[in-house]
Amino acid sequence: MVFGEAVNKQLWVAIALITLSSILLTLDTAEGISFSFGSLLVLGATICWGIENNCTRQIADQDPLQIVVIKGLGPD
């Protein structure tokens, strides 16, 4: 929605199932839902990956070698 991508019914179902499974994996039977530092890092990495994929899509008509070189020059 943020980047204006077309999202159909199948994709919404997939998003819902992934979200539900992620919630189930964070359940602690005694405590309920708890987030570890690691799970927050995974969430942050996923968000960064989505942003990176969207930015790459906008330059996808360029030479793939140039894209890889430019990505490789980014901060470590």
Give residue-wise pLDDT tens across range 41-58.
877 888 888 888 887 777
Domain spans of the chain, in order of start: 9-72
pLDDT band at 39 (very low <50, low <70, confident <90, very high): confident
- Collapsed DSSP state (helix, strand, coil) of residue 30: coil
Q: Which is it for the CA torsion 14, 15, 18, 23, positive or negative?
A: negative
Q: What Å distances lie between residue 31 and 8, 21, 25, 60, CA to CA? A: 36, 18, 13, 46
pTM (2 decimals)? Answer: 0.53
Radius of gyration of the chain (CA): 17
Mean pLDDT of 8-31: 81
Q: Specify whether the CB–CB gap between 33 and 27 falls below 8 A.
A: yes
- Say which residue, 31 or 63, is predicted with more confidence: 63
